[in-house]
A and B are shown apart, each in its own frame.
Chain A
Amino acid sequence: QKEVEQNSGPLSVPEGAIASLNCTYSDRGSQSFFWYRQYSGKSPELIMFIYSNGDKEDGRFTAQLNKASQYVSLLIRDSQPSDSATYLCAVNDGGSQGNLIFGKGTKLSVKP
């Protein structure tokens, strides 16, 4: 059974702090890694994607990938109350046509 594991949280950080979200995955065949943000009652919204080991930065967001450790993380700098949402880690199913395997999500709460 291919799995993606995330701490369900809630993760609470003060406004302006760095939020660190972590994810591990079991499928060594996975090559593509995605972070989606999901507000309550809304659809998942793509935040970041990363394919290569190392860091990828986009504005306040940094994705980090370590394939050897099967570990992906998302850092949110200068957290804002509007960042409060559930963050879903997803990896492509290496043995499939491209469907994604999602974690259960980490609920982030940014306190003003």
Chain B
Amino acid sequence: GAGVSQTPSNKVTEKGKYVELRCDPISGHTALYWYRQSLGQGPEFLIYFQGTGAADDSGLPNDRFFAVRPEGSVSTLKIQRTERGDSAVYLCASSQGGAGEQFFGPGTRLTVL
């Protein structure tokens, strides 16, 4: 595709449930990033991949959050035992290399009831 795509665009779940959010980066981009944007705030860094490996996961808030990128392309952000405080827009971005311009997807809006 022409840009970064994210699915689903909206996800409503109940407290305690497990969710997976998917990101398809721009073809050929080696770096992939996840951010979280809460209402009224700027995006907050979660994790970034260079190829298949997590180059920096210092932004993951706790061990309920996990992300994978097994083949160096598509990535999945996984949240276990969701809490109401996890409600936010989850943004994915990709770039050519770690210092390249980051291209953002439209985000997944997660609502935890």
- Are these two chains actual partners, yes or no? no
Q: Give the A-binding residues of B (Cβ under 8 A).
A: none
Q: Give the B-binding residues of A (Cβ under 8 A).
A: none
